Homo-oligomer: A and B are copies of this chain.
Amino acid sequence: MSASATADRLVFVPLGGSGEIGMNLNLYGYGPPGREKWIIVDLGVTFGDATTPGVEVIMPDPAFIAERADDLLGIVLTHAHEDHMGAVAALWPRLKAPVYATPFTAYLVRDRLEEAGLADQVVLREVPLNGHVSLGPFEIDLVTLTHSIPEPNGLLIDTPAGLVLHTGDWKIDPDPLIGEATDAQALRKAGERGILAMVCDSTNVLTEGEAGSELGVRDELIRLVGEQSGRVAIAAFASNVARLQSAVQAAEANGRSVCLVGRSMHRMIGAARHIGLFADARPFIDEEEAARLPRARVLYLCTGSQGEPRAALSRIAAGMHRHVKLSPGDTVLFSSRVIPGNEKAIFALQNQLASQGVAVIGEKDRHIHVSGHPCRDELRQMYAWARPHIAIPVHGERRHLIAHARLAREMQVAHGFAPRNGDMIALSQDGAELVDEVPAGRLYRDGSVLSPAEGGALRERKKLAFGGSVSIALAVNQAGQVVSGPEANLYGLPEPEQGFDAAVETLCEAAHNAVQAMPRHLRGDDRAIEDLVLRAVRRAAPPIWGKRPHVDVIVLPLD
């Protein structure tokens, strides 16, 4: 127990990002228990996969803080990656607090808000790099770090209860190519003042050493493009603007013109120009012009490094891109990592390219990618600078957070806490204390509906995906006689040995018999009849298919 149940306290609550990758949503609260003032740090999404059919976007359920929206002072975004800002447009209507971001991030958020028709309503405040935000008891200084996107900000959040360093995503890149190197002095100075808690990125805690510098990648890209005589396509995350710039330099150094392919490439270059980048670069050429140039004079910069089926590179590989074609002797450089879960899609894409005689070069073959997250040596360096009293690892799967907490102990940090989403952790000189557990679910964007993950629609669809479906309808009169039907439709079921017609007949017979054998007192009770039929058909299906389809019964009542 805390010394006093009503004294002001500082709490940290991750609602997303602790225990899974992506969809970060962090809360800081200060005040008397139950009457805290809150800020949100980051508001991100993650993406669905084959295990979430029909759900492409997943975000943290903000219910806990939405219920306290009156006490929400602001939403501060550390940087512009989807897992840190992708949920702003969808969730802002439930939160309605001003949004703070540095120029590059603000540009991209504004773009999204315009798409969503929210640009007029949302108060979006652009904060300069290394700027300051005052939100009630929270005095926030931005500290420029290095990452794989322009303007990654760590937050020094000063409160009456002490100073918190919320790192956001970071690495230590001595040559980030865009932006300044990590502001070690600011971190060291904050460490000297005394950091109560550091809430820190855990992504690469299982990897020894350092992530490596963008400069090394640039040099290798220049070399590698120089070795090619056909067309070159570089697939990279559009948000990695330093990488895009390196690709542009690799093109220019080798007498190639750059053609952007894919919507988010154009979007990100727009954001980059907004902050003054690419001012000196030769203008990009469009796809039609690129198609007319000699092969050795073109470099395509493409989206789709993860094998996303609708992204540029997949469409090019499938021969479905209107203007961009690759042919034998051309080369695709995957200047990106393989995100776990995407292996099969990426390999399928690479197989398709290889089939066409296109050479594929990845990060395993040549040094054309570095991670944006800190490996163990960088984490050690950060702990040496910040020397926090408490370590709170976030931004990782469970095994990452636990390994990170262990590393922090090795770095002599007095207290550590590897939180789960929904843990409310009070931070004080006594350490980190779990004081509550609050709801921290997920929301699925399911078609146009934003619905709680536990709503069950996806679970039902997965059942359909495994078992297929049988629909059966019959009209029954008040005397309990089948007047029309049963008729049955099958969907998603393979043709069984006896054939489809015989299978349907078997199911209809089961339904018919169930009604005929119905006890007298159920006559006229459509629900009860439906239930009888349901059970009969459910019993009849497994012998036919060796599996349990979803069975849907409609009994139409007749006089």
Contact = CB atoms under 8 A, between A and B. Distances in A.
A527 to B, nearest CB: 12
Contacts of A489: 552, 554
Interface in A476-495: 483-485, 487-489, 491-495
Interface in A335-370: 340-341, 343-344, 347, 350-355, 360, 364
B484 A475 contact: yes
Interface stretch (A118-126, A141-149, A298-306, A440-448): A440-448
A473 interface: yes
Contacts of A519: none
B471 A554 contact: yes
Nearest to A397: B351
Contacts of A556: 473-475, 484-485, 487, 556
Interface stretch (A32-40, A45-53, A509-517): A45-53
A550 interface: yes
A64 interface: no
A354 B19 CA distance: 11
Interface stretch (A92-100, A243-251, A458-466): A458-466
A547 B54 contact: yes
A467 interface: yes
B343 A347 contact: no
Contacts of A397: 347, 351
A252 B491 CA distance: 56
A283 interface: no
A270 interface: no
B460 A462 contact: no
A1 interface: no
A19 to B, nearest CB: 7
Contacts of A448: 545-547
Interface stretch (A215-223, A228-236, A288-296, A449-457): A449-457
B343 A465 contact: no
A558 interface: yes
Contact of A457 (B53, B488, B494): B494
Given A447-B545, A545-B449, A483 B558 contact: yes
Contacts of A455: 494-495
A488 B554 CA distance: 8
Contacts of A340: 343-344, 347
A371 interface: no
- For A19, A343, A455, the residue with the greatest tally of chain B CB atoms inside 10 Å of its CB is A343
Contacts of A364: 206
A287 to B, nearest CB: 26
Contacts of A449: 494-497, 545-546
Contact of A465 (B461, B494, B547): B461
Contact of A402 (B354, B471, B550): B354
A469 interface: yes
B451 A494 contact: yes
A398 interface: yes
Given A447-B494, A447-B545, A475-B484, A465 B468 contact: no
A179 interface: no
Contact of A49 (B50, B353, B558): B50
A263 interface: no
A464 B451 contact: no
A473 B554 contact: yes
Contacts of A344: 49, 51, 340-341
A252 B469 CA distance: 53
A262 interface: no
B547 A402 contact: no
A487 B353 CA distance: 50
A194 interface: no
A399 B290 CA distance: 27
B51 A468 contact: no
Contacts of A53: 462, 465-466
A226 interface: no
Nearest to A482: B556
A484 to B, nearest CB: 4
A464 B545 CA distance: 18
A308 to B, nearest CB: 15
Given A354-B398, A355-B402, A473-B554, 6 more contacts: A53-B465, A457-B492, A461-B465, A471-B552, A473-B556, A475-B475
12 contacts: A49-B344, A54-B547, A352-B398, A354-B398, A354-B403, A447-B546, A448-B545, A449-B496, A455-B495, A461-B468, A469-B550, A471-B552
